[in-house]
Structure 1
Amino acid sequence: MAKPDIDDYERRPNPKGWVQPKAPYNPFDPSDQRPAEGYPSEFNSPSKLKQNTGFVAQDATDFEKIRIDMKKLKYHPRPPSELYPGRYKVLRKINVQTPFKRGANITAKGTMWGVVIFGVFFYKWNDHENIFAPFRRIQLKVKELAFGELNIDDYNDLYNYKKDLPIPQKPLPSIMYEKNVEEHLVGEDTKNDEFIKDRFGNKHVVQAEHVKQKEEEGMLKAMDIAERELQIKKLKEELSSTTQINSSKESKPFWKVW
């Protein structure tokens, strides 16, 4: 005789009016009557798997209960076929994009990728070390391998570039520079904030251009004076040579023909 299981003694007896249910219980089947006291399986201990509470979803927005019930029933919402009774319609994914939309999408993506690739690999941003410099060197190496040689500028960009060449800073507007002067952030290293650069202002650029212009004007004046002195010297030499010839002609005796 087999030894009875402990669960057989602890098992709760079926309530009154209990009938053998269909397996699994379908809450959407009106012929599957659920007892008022509920099924014993509804009183099982909770586990990791989600279990329904046993109540049919009263509202169409109670998606959690509907989802659990649908998963238990293995129900897929397929509409019945009108041509073939007892079978279902096959739902296929239809491409709703028009040729114009598809072409516009391809054109937009191609344009964006083209601009990015051109800006990263084929455009020279400046003569200094920047974030796109390695990509440009890769492009120049491929160009050198493909065509065999590079022009002078590309060769210097690839092999003779200066890593420590500083990027020139733009001058600060006068308002910002004067504000930094008022806050004692310019001119004194002891009081400068490490996050604020001590850049020059627009007025310094104007002053430097004025000084440079004066120097260039002085150099041009000096060149003009030097050219004038050379011309005067040449004229003096020509005059002296002509006077010597004339004096020699006048001193010749009248009886000498040669």
Structure 2
Amino acid sequence: MVKSPEDFERRPNPIGWVQPKAPYNPYDPTDVRPPEGYPSEFDAPSSVKRNTGKVAQDLTDYQKIKIDMKRLKYYPRPPSELYPGRYKVLRNINHKSSFVRGAELTAKLSIYGFIAFGVFFYKWNDNENVFAPFRRLQLKVKEFVLGELSSDDYNDLYNYKKDKLIPQRPLPTIMYEQNENRNLVGEDATNNEFIKDRFGNKHVVYAEHVAQREEESMLKAMEIAERELELNKMKEQLLKSEQKPSWKFW
């Protein structure tokens, strides 16, 4: 039996049927469809994140509200009062005062200025360190601009010692005593290439004491020598005064 075109027509909608809105709005009380929507209204896979089908009960549940607003393609823009069918343009207002902007600008300029000064223009020490290449670059630019350099700058640029080591600071006494207990200082056999035999603060104090004692002894010796010279001069003057000339008989 051959079917007629009438057999392929869609059956009529039931009484009271209302054409659904698409997509489903769970916050619209007039939309009486199920939360998940009808099967024909399912979104394509991975197009938009699907919600769990439950209406957000709390206004702080931003994740559900955000997904629903994306599905509705709703943008919170107020309608324009002057131009019907259009929306107001929301402007970004800078709430920062001029003082705050000036303070931020001053802080940034100060920080960047100190960094640039410390890296390029300040001579940290006389040894090879991490800022030495920047120092030599600054001296090369200075030589190119001015045409000449002072003797110190010229030596820093060309006559510097590449193998010069940075002087070590003394260890605190507690750390030095701990190294002594661990047998890390003393003989050459215990000092391998991974262990540095660094001196302690007590050695610095003792060395300063020895130097001061030697300086005091040298000063005392100089004072004694000066006194002896003065005594010799006084003796010579007394001898000259006691000697009488030969032509004087009285």
Contact 2:35 2:53 in 1 (8 A): no
Alignment of 1:168-247 (within 5 A): 168-192=167-191, 196-213=195-212, 221=221
**Preserved contact between residue 172 and residue 202 of structure 1 (Cα < 8 Å):** yes
- Cα RMSD (Å) of the superposition? 4.1
Letter in 1 for 2:39: P
Partner of 1:162: 161
What SS does structure 2 have at the residue aligned with 1:25?
coil
Aligned to 1:130: 129
The residue type equivalent to 1:47 in the other structure is P
| TM-score normalized by the length of structure 1 | 0.68
Q: How does 1:18-33 map to 2 (within 5 A)?
A: 20-33=19-32
CA distance in 2, matches of 1:207, 1:16: 109
Q: Give the counterpart letter for 1:144 in structure 2.
A: E
2:148 is matched with 149
Asked if structure 1 preserves the Cα contact closer than 8 Å seen for 2:143 and 2:149, the reply is yes
The separation in 2 between residues aligned to 1:174 and 1:25, in whole angstroms, is 77
Q: Aligned ranges for residues 49-68 of structure 1 at < 5 Å?
A: 49=47, 50-68=49-67
Matches within 5 A, 1:113-128: 113-128=112-127
User: What is the Cα deviation at residue 97 of structure 1?
Assistant: 1.1
Instruction: Classify 1:69/1:166 alpha carbon distance in 2 versus 1 (closer, same or farther; 3 Å).
Output: same
Are 2:46 and 1:48 equivalent residues in the alignment? Answer: yes
Residue 218 of structure 1, CA deviation = 7.2
The alpha-carbon deviation at position 174 of structure 1 amounts to 2.8
Deviation per residue, 1:171-194 (Å, 9 max, x gap): 223333233223322103444586
Instruction: Please say if residues 176 and 200 of structure 2, whose CA atoms lie closer than 8 Å, have aligned partners that are also in contact.
Output: yes
Q: Which residue of 2 aligns with 1:242?
A: none
Q: Is residue 140 of structure 1 aligned with residue 139 of structure 2? A: yes
Deviations 1:173-225 (Å, cap 9, x if unpaired)?
33332332233221034445866532112332234334445666677758x96
State the alpha-carbon separation in 2 of the partners of residues 194 and 41 from structure 1: 77
CA contact (8 A) 2:22 2:41 kept: no
Q: Secondary structure at the match of 2:199?
A: coil
Partners in 2 of 1:37 and 1:219 — Cα distance?
102
Cα offset for 1:31? 3.3
Matches of 1:16 and 1:141, distance apart in 2: 92
Change in Cα spacing, 1:211 to 1:31, as seen in structure 2 (3 Å) is closer
Distance 1:30 1:145, change over 3 A: same
Unaligned runs of 5+ in 2: 1-12, 237-244
- One-letter code aligned to 1:204: H
Q: Give the partner amino acid of 2:33.
A: R
Report SS of the residue matched to 1:56.
coil
The count of residues paired between Structure 1 and Structure 2 equals 226
8 Å Cα contact 2:128-2:162 kept in structure 1: yes
Q: 1:72 to 1:15 in 2, by over 3 A?
A: farther
